Amino acid sequence: MSDKENPTPIEHIQLTYTDCSNITRCHVVRPDMFARVVKTGLSFPRPTFTFPWMGGAPVAGPTGQVTFRPDASPPLPAPWLPGVGLSFGLFEEDDGSPFSLCPRTFLHKQESRLKGVRMVLGFELEFLLLNEDRTPVDNSTYSESKILRGKTWKFLCGVVAALEAIGIPVWRYHSEGAAGQLEVAIGPFMGSLLKAADALVLARQAIYHEAAALGCIASFCPKPFQDIASGAHMHISLETDEGANLFQASPKEAQGFLAGILSRLPDLILILSPTGNSYERLQPSSISGAYQCIGGENREAAIRLIKNRDELIQRFEMRPIDGTANPYLIIGSFLAAGMEGLENRSILPEEVTDFNVPGKKNPPPLPSSLAEAIRTFSVSEFNKELYGPELFKLFVDMRTRENEFWESDESMENKIKLLIHRY
């Protein structure tokens, strides 16, 4: 009898959530306790969502409790942790109202706003596979066949098998542009945006665990070394409720949705690129999408349009995102900005094909430091309304504390080392 026919019994349930610093955390219970949690919920410390990424006291203070409510679906067996089942859920206050600091609850609320349009998502996971001493596992560069050997290939095969075992479609996987840098692309994800974000969280967990099983470190740190940068590009297709491409079925609505996202990018960049190290990556002439514009094959543009042979838009790629960003917050924020643009019938500007052309002004750059991103975020009325007073204040206070650490006298080597291990 195969392993699939005789799976390892689930003896532990991992109650999984991702906080506002994009750290995935958990509590673990036995199956009999989980049955009780399904009925009554489980109390969690309220400050648990407010730890800055570098550690220290929670930003929101030490008091209060919230209740975790597991999703209705049964726990998902984790291929990388035999005997463990994974359960996501939503958090609520004592009075039963949604917990305002939970990113997953935020996306759950935003998803109800989608009317007449569907978002189909795909994710590119760029990361480094490192030895324990933080040296690359191999010296391959972009798409070299060297990765089809040794420890790197064993690692990739383990990741792909784990993801496919839990129903996460793997599109392709290859080496990226620097030694030890890999990419695994997953999707497309149709239907629930909440489940799409869950899939990205699970994919990162699979990558971490498969690396650790081989005595390695996988890291999504945006700019760990001078010559290496890792993004977390997100691909978005827009469809009608019937499944037709919205750019072809209703071009004005599709372009309005995209124009809404484009216009709000400076306001949202603190969500997409939330750490000081993010802005080491997000710089002009670094093909990271540092300019507030749309482009075709131009990878300096924050939004890249992907077209078919007839020059019809199929989807668009969001480039300023990196692996320190919380996927629930990203997707919910794009949804809100897109719906604003659609409802306002916003006009999409022309594509930018070239930069640094003599006599021609470049498009505006996105904020180029964490301090600038905090300032831009904090004066946005759109953000204040979107996130609500408590979550909005948390973002400002948390990123301000993190920026103080990033600009402190602590050695940059230690800061980067901590980022590599945290992400």
Q: Is residue 126 within 8 Å of residue 231, measured between CB atoms?
A: yes
Enclosing H/E stretch for 353: none
**How is residue 90 annotated by DSSP?**
E
pLDDT tens-digit series, residues 254-291: 999 999 999 999 999 999 999 999 999 999 888 888 99
- What is the spatial distance between Cα 357 and Cα 292, in angstroms, rounded to a whole number? 17
Please, what are the domains in the chain? 110-422 (3.30.590.10)
Q: Is residue 159 within 8 Å of residue 184, measured between CB atoms?
A: yes
Instruction: Report the length, in residues, of the chain.
Output: 423
Q: What is the mean pLDDT of residues 322-335?
A: 98
**Which of 231, 295, 259, 278 is closest to 372 using CA atoms?**
278
Q: Is residue 107 within 8 Å of residue 332, measured between CB atoms?
A: yes
Say whether pLDDT at 193 is over 50. yes
pLDDT at 19: 96
Say whether pLDDT at 119 is over 50. yes
pLDDT tens-digit series, residues 215-228: 999 999 999 998 88
Q: What is the mean pLDDT of residues 162-174?
A: 96
pLDDT at 1: 35
- What is the spatial distance between Cα 390 and Cα 79, in angstroms, rounded to a whole number? 37
Say whether pLDDT at 102 is over 70. yes
For tokens 């050997």, the residue is 149
pLDDT at 359: 65
pLDDT-based confidence at residue 3 (cuts at 50, 70, 90): very low
pLDDT at 6: 52
Say whether pLDDT at 312 is over 50. yes
SS3 for 89? strand
pLDDT at 357: 65
Q: What is the mean pLDDT of residues 80-93?
A: 96
- What is the spatial distance between Cα 323 and Cα 310, in angstroms, rounded to a whole number? 33
Q: Please tell me the pTM assigned to this model.
A: 0.94
pLDDT-based confidence at residue 115 (cuts at 50, 70, 90): confident
pLDDT-based confidence at residue 298 (cuts at 50, 70, 90): confident
Taking phi over 0 as left and psi of -120 to 50 as alpha, with beta for the rest, 191 belongs to: left
Say whether pLDDT at 95 is over 80. yes
Percent of the chain clearing pLDDT 90 (strictly above) = 80
Question: Structure tokens of 293?
Answer: 């514009």
| Burial grade of 308 (CB within 10 A; 0-12, 13-18, 19 or more) | exposed
More confident: 288 or 103:
103
Say whether pLDDT at 214 is over 60. yes
Say whether pLDDT at 180 is over 50. yes
Say whether pLDDT at 9 is over 70. yes
Say whether pLDDT at 392 is over 70. yes
Sign of torsion over alpha carbons 201, 204, 205, 206: positive
Say whether pLDDT at 141 is over 90. no
Q: What is the mean pLDDT of residues 112-126?
A: 93
Say whether pLDDT at 86 is over 90. yes
More confident: 287 or 110:
110
Sign of torsion over alpha carbons 288, 344, 330, 384: positive
pLDDT at 120: 97
pLDDT-based confidence at residue 166 (cuts at 50, 70, 90): very high
- What is the spatial distance between Cα 64 and Cα 44, in angstroms, rounded to a whole number? 9
**How is residue 47 annotated by DSSP?**
G
Q: What is the mean pLDDT of residues 407-415?
A: 95
pLDDT tens-digit series, residues 334-359: 999 999 999 999 999 999 887 766 66
